Structure 1
Amino acid sequence: MKTLVRAGAMALLLATAAAPAAFAQTARPTADTMFQTTTLNLSAYGETRVAPDKATINLGVTSEAPTAAAALAANSEQMNKVIAALRKGGVADKDIQTSGLNLSPQYDYVQNEPPRLRGYQVSNQVTVTVNDLARLGAAVDATVKAGANQVNGVSFGLKDPTAAENAARQEAVKALQAKADLYAKATGHRVSRLVNLSEGGGYTPAPPPMPMLAYARMEKDASGGAPVSAGELAVRVDVNGLYELSR
Structure 2
Amino acid sequence: MRKQIMKSTLTLCALAASFIALPSVASQVDFPHIVTTGYGQIEATPDMAEFSVRVVQSQLNADQAKEGVDSVVDTFLAKLASAGVSKEDIKSSNLYLTPQYQYPDKGQPELVGYRASRTVTVQVMDIERLNDYLDSALASGINQVDNIRLKVKDESQYQAKARTAAIQDAQKKAQSLAQGFEQKLGKVWQITYKQPQNQPVVMRSMMMDSQPESNSYQDSVITIRDRVDVVYKLSN
Give the TM-score range, shorter chain: 0.7 to 0.9
Matched, 1:174 2:174: no
Letter in 1 for 2:132: A
Whether the 8 Å CA contact 2:145–2:206 is kept in 1: the answer is no
Alpha-carbon distance in structure 2 between the residues aligned to 1:132 and 1:82: 18
Residue of 133, 140, 158 corresponding to 1:164 = 158
Runs of 4 or more, structure 1, over 6 Å off, are none
- Per-residue Cα deviation, 1:23-74 (whole angstroms, up to 9, x for no partner): xxxxxxxxxxxx9831112212110001112111010211222111121111
Alpha-carbon distance in structure 2 between the residues aligned to 1:148 and 1:224: 12
Whether the 8 Å CA contact 2:145–2:205 is kept in 1: the answer is no
Corresponding pairs, count: 204
Identify the residue that residue 194 of structure 1 maps to in structure 2.
188
Whether the 8 Å CA contact 1:100–1:126 is kept in 2: the answer is no
What is the TM-score with the length of structure 2 in the denominator?
0.79
Whether the 8 Å CA contact 2:151–2:201 is kept in 1: the answer is yes
Matched, 1:51 2:45: yes
Quickly say closer, same or farther: Cα 1:199–1:155, change in 2 above 3 A. same
Alpha-carbon shift at residue 203 of structure 1 (Å): 4.7
Matched, 1:213 2:182: no
Identify the residue that residue 143 of structure 1 maps to in structure 2.
137
Alpha-carbon distance in structure 2 between the residues aligned to 1:111 and 1:93: 50
Stretches of structure 1 that go unaligned for 5 or more consecutive residues are: 1-34, 205-211
Any idea what SS the aligned residue of 1:80 has?
helix
Task: Give the percent of matched residue pairs that are identical in Structure 1 and Structure 2.
Answer: 26
Quickly say closer, same or farther: Cα 1:200–1:148, change in 2 above 3 A. same
Residue of 67, 73, 76 corresponding to 2:61 = 67
Whether the 8 Å CA contact 1:96–1:129 is kept in 2: the answer is yes
Letter in 2 for 1:239: V
Identify the residue that residue 105 of structure 1 maps to in structure 2.
99
Alpha-carbon shift at residue 115 of structure 1 (Å): 1.4
Letter in 1 for 2:59: A
Alpha-carbon shift at residue 198 of structure 1 (Å): 2.6
Whether the 8 Å CA contact 1:105–1:119 is kept in 2: the answer is yes
Q: Which has the larger radius of gyration?
A: 1
Coordinate RMSD, CA, aligned: 2.2
Residue of 93, 96, 100 corresponding to 2:90 = 96
Identify the residue that residue 127 of structure 1 maps to in structure 2.
121
Whether the 8 Å CA contact 1:105–1:121 is kept in 2: the answer is yes
Matched, 1:238 2:227: yes
What is the TM-score with the length of structure 1 in the denominator?
0.76
Alpha-carbon distance in structure 1 between the residues aligned to 2:60 and 2:123: 34
Alpha-carbon distance in structure 2 between the residues aligned to 1:92 and 1:244: 54
Identify the residue that residue 30 of structure 1 maps to in structure 2.
none
Any idea what SS the aligned residue of 2:113 has?
strand
Alpha-carbon shift at residue 151 of structure 1 (Å): 0.5
Residue of 75, 81, 102 corresponding to 1:81 = 75
Alpha-carbon shift at residue 225 of structure 1 (Å): 5.6
Any idea what SS the aligned residue of 2:191 has?
strand
Identify the residue that residue 18 of structure 1 maps to in structure 2.
none
Identify the residue that residue 110 of structure 2 maps to in structure 1.
116
Quickly say closer, same or farther: Cα 1:218–1:135, change in 2 above 3 A. farther
Whether the 8 Å CA contact 1:191–1:244 is kept in 2: the answer is yes
